[in-house]
């Protein structure tokens, strides 16, 4: 039988390492994480969300996200988000 008596010294308590979660280094990473959470993006498309957030302005991404929330109430909303952001990209190139 394994009897775990816990920490035996007070220094043992202070030496216990807690796992730390690193915050995002850039603002666009935080934005990408919020989009991934809001529009349940599958694992195989998460890198695409990070790429979109890195290469486009926050305003453009928020506009696409708002349009997605407004127009796509059910189904795979993340697919619609990619379609909207792509259309916004084409629109800005024509200007």
pTM more than 0.75: no
* 68-to-40, 71, 72 alpha-carbon distances in Å: 13, 5, 5
Mean pLDDT of 91-95: 63
Would you list the domain boundaries of the chain? 25-94
Contact status, residue 81 vs residue 39, Cβ threshold 8 Å: yes
In the chain, count H helices and then E strands.
Answer: 5, 0
Contact status, residue 61 vs residue 36, Cβ threshold 8 Å: no
Q: How confident is the model at residue 73 (pLDDT cuts 50, 70, 90)?
A: confident
pLDDT tens, 18-53?
777 788 789 999 999 999 999 999 999 999 999 999
């Amino acid at each position: 039988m394994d009897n775990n008596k816990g920490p035996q010294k007070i220094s043992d308590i202070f030496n216990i390492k807690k796992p730390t979660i690193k915050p995002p280094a850039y603002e666009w990473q935080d934005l990408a994480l919020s989009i991934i959470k809001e529009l349940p993006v599958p694992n195989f498309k998460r890198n695409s969300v990070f790429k979109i957030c890195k290469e486009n302005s926050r305003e453009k991404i928020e506009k696409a996200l708002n349009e997605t929330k407004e127009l796509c109430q059910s189904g795979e909303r993340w697919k619609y988000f990619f379609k909207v952001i792509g259309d916004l990209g084409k629109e800005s190139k024509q200007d």
